[in-house]
Amino acid sequence: MKEKVQEALQKIRPTLQADGGDVVLIDVADDGIVKVQLTGACGGCPMATITLKQGIERLLKKEVPGVKEVVSV
């Protein structure tokens, strides 16, 4: 599942990079919890939670069966 998550993140990465940020995959747990770290401008952005939940999490749930939640670490 980790490879599929990486592939899905590549689809959203250009959008994040265009705003000066990025996302780093930290871990994919067996229970479907994906841990990521938002970096660059995304790391301190007040909209980071919305980006995480409505952008990254929604994409990963759609693209990768088994993803339950995405959390920032």
Q: Classify the phi-psi angles of 66: left when phi > 0, otherwise alpha if psi is within -120 to 50, otherwise beta.
A: left
> Would you state the pLDDT for residue 43?
83
Q: What is the pLDDT of residues 3-45, one digit of tens each?
A: 999 999 999 999 999 989 999 999 999 999 999 999 998 888 8
Query: What is the rounded distance in angstroms from the CA atom of residue 71 to the CA atom of residue 6?
Result: 15
Q: What's the domain range around 37?
A: 2-72
> Would you state the pLDDT for residue 29?
96
> Would you state the pLDDT for residue 23?
95
Residue tagged 């980071």 (tokens)? 48
17, two tokens: 């990079």
Q: Classify the phi-psi angles of 38: left when phi > 0, otherwise alpha if psi is within -120 to 50, otherwise beta.
A: beta
Integer angstrom CA distances of residue 58 from 12, 50, 67? 11, 11, 10
CATH number of domain containing 33? 3.30.300.130
Count of structural domains within the chain: 1
